[in-house]
Amino acid sequence: MAIQRPKGTQDHLPDGSPKLGLDTRAAAFQFIRETARRVLERAGAQQIDTPIFEDAEVIKRGVGGSTDIVRKEMFTVYYFGDHGGFILRPEATAGVVRAYLQNGLKQLPAPLKLWLHGPMFRAENVQKGRLRQFHQVDYEVLGSTDPLVDAETISLLVDVVRALGLKQVKVKLGSIGDPEDREAYNAYLRDLFTPHVDRLSDDGRARLERNPMRILDGKAPGDQELIAELGVKPMLAFLGEAARAHFEQVRAHLDAWDVAYDIDPSIVRGLDYYRRTAWELHHEGVGAKSALCGGGRYDGLAQELGSKDPVPGIGWAFGMERLLLAMEADGVVIPESDGPLLYVAALDDSNVGYAATVAMTARQVARTEFAYKAMKPGNVFRDAERRRARFVALIGSDEVEQDTLTVKNLATGQQTTVPTRDLLAFLKGQLALTPTPLENA
């Protein structure tokens, strides 16, 4: 068998491909990116792009040494003369904050809203909705601790998923407090779990040592049983005064805007940089365990990356593949991409070059394709239909001599004779009558 793609990766394919799923359709990814761009840029976000690999320190210090990502899931980059000092990015936030610091983006008006889309890499156990290369849309706001920013950030996420047509989504909102609140909570969990350490899984034990809070997020069924048995108090019960007041204000803004959410008192995110507001977006059709989106505030991250001054930040990211599974479950239909407006073909070999010239001129106005070989009329129409063309221009010697084109509308069968010099005006007229998304772009 020919060489296969690596496990946990997917090809994104053109429409018409056999075995096409929504989550492997290139046009579906394009639809998500463009929808997100429209909603986020209307709110003042600008696109940023950062490298797909970063210095290992950015990822290790940014994402945090107690996380599964850093402990077990990093793709290390080796190349000649280097010994693994770089990591394929498992997420975007650490790289964005690194870029903010390195490029002096503090000079820009605050709060600075940034967004990006692109591939992320985690060496996970592969299952449905859990890939090794997946794609995120990521949104970050830097330079403000204002709870109004938290609420706006969550509200924008809801706007994006609604614009994508999702219905059964739920925001689960919590707060993981300030570092001292988290320390108090971790101390409480350490005291609670230590007497039962032998009942914890290996993973649970490692978590108890490094960051007890992460036990709550563990997947081993035995650990979950123990958690239920011990009646563990949630993180929210440990919020200090400042974090609690901040959280109340975030909620008040969301309530005022009618942004629906459920309080999840025990929310534990899988990355170390979070502080205060944290949330996930879940979808009933995709299963409770896997979030479509995760986000939160990360006011200490810039300092972890070596900044002298704190740079408060907050943001979220969703996985496009998971979102597509949810869209499929909600019956969202993403329209087929358009075929060409015009398909040009020559009836004789001597006119193929002329047909190509006509087609290339028509591209000033709309998508146009041409036949690379002379064809009989019946074959031209069959070919044009397969390509989903709207109009066909057949070129024979008469057309070349008279400088005219016979243009046929494939839907109605109507034929129009168009002087060649008027072709662009004719096509513009057709577009104005029935614009298509591609040609309107």
Binding residues for L-histidine: 91-93, 122, 136, 140, 269, 273-274
- Rounded Cα distance between 116 and 49, Å, is 6
Element (H, E) at 107: none
Alpha carbon 96 to its chain centroid, in Å, reads 15
For ligand HAM, the closer of residues 114 and 366 by Cβ is 114
* Neighbouring residues of 217: CB distance < 8 A, sequence distance ≥ 6: 268, 270
For ligand HAM, the closer of residues 321 and 399 by Cβ is 321
- Rounded Cα distance between 429 and 441, Å, is 16
Rounded least distance, CB 429 to ligand HAM, Å: 45
For ligand HAM, the closer of residues 93 and 368 by Cβ is 93
Stretch binding ligand HAM (CB under 6 A), from 88-96, 210-218, 359-367, 418-426: 88-96
When asked if residue 295 is in the footprint of ligand HAM (CB under 6 A), the reply is yes
CB 354 within 8 A of CB 346: yes
Closest CA to 395 of 356, 357, 355: 355
When asked if residue 70 is in the footprint of ligand HAM (CB under 6 A), the reply is no
For ligand HAM, the closer of residues 134 and 391 by Cβ is 134
User: 353 to 412, contacts with ligand HAM by CB under 6 A?
Assistant: none
Tokens coding 273: 């940089």
DSSP conformation class of 128: T
Closest CA to 48 of 301, 278, 315: 315
When asked if residue 29 is in the footprint of ligand HAM (CB under 6 A), the reply is no
Binds ligand HAM by CB under 6 A, chosen from 261, 318, 391, 426: 318
When asked if residue 238 is in the footprint of ligand HAM (CB under 6 A), the reply is no
Tokens coding 190: 């350490």
- Rounded Cα distance between 286 and 128, Å, is 10
CB 79 within 8 A of CB 73: no
- Rounded Cα distance between 3 and 214, Å, is 39
Binds ligand HAM by CB under 6 A, chosen from 174, 296, 312, 340: 296
When asked if residue 264 is in the footprint of ligand HAM (CB under 6 A), the reply is no
User: 321 to 360, contacts with ligand HAM by CB under 6 A?
Assistant: 321-322
Count of positions (residues) in the chain: 441
Closest CA to 387 of 370, 412, 405, 406: 370
For ligand HAM, the closer of residues 325 and 405 by Cβ is 325
Q: How many CA atoms lie within 13 A of 296 on its CB side?
A: 28
Binds ligand HAM by CB under 6 A, chosen from 37, 71, 130, 244: 130
- Rounded Cα distance between 148 and 153, Å, is 9
Stretch binding ligand HAM (CB under 6 A), from 129-137, 178-186, 333-341, 390-398: 129-137
By CB under 6 A, the count of residues binding ligand HAM is 28
Report strand pairing: 342-346 vs 391-395. Answer: parallel
For ligand HAM, the closer of residues 16 and 44 by Cβ is 44
Binds ligand HAM by CB under 6 A, chosen from 294, 300, 312, 340: 294
User: 137 to 166, contacts with ligand HAM by CB under 6 A?
Assistant: 138, 140
Rounded least distance, CB 358 to ligand HAM, Å: 46
When asked if residue 244 is in the footprint of ligand HAM (CB under 6 A), the reply is no
Rounded least distance, CB 324 to ligand HAM, Å: 10
User: 173 to 212, contacts with ligand HAM by CB under 6 A?
Assistant: none
Rounded least distance, CB 136 to ligand HAM, Å: 5
Report strand pairing: 169-175 vs 275-283. Answer: antiparallel
When asked if residue 115 is in the footprint of ligand HAM (CB under 6 A), the reply is no
Tokens 């290369």 found at:
133
Looking at residue 226, its amino acid is L
Tokens coding 314: 């907050």
When asked if residue 282 is in the footprint of ligand HAM (CB under 6 A), the reply is no
- Rounded Cα distance between 143 and 111, Å, is 5
Binds ligand HAM by CB under 6 A, chosen from 105, 250, 291, 342: 291
Backbone angles phi, psi at 175, to 5 degrees: -140, 140
When asked if residue 299 is in the footprint of ligand HAM (CB under 6 A), the reply is no
Binds ligand HAM by CB under 6 A, chosen from 53, 115, 185, 316: 316
Residues at the interface with ligand HAM (CB under 6 A)? 91-93, 122, 124, 129-131, 134, 136, 138, 140, 270-271, 291-296, 298, 315-319, 321-322
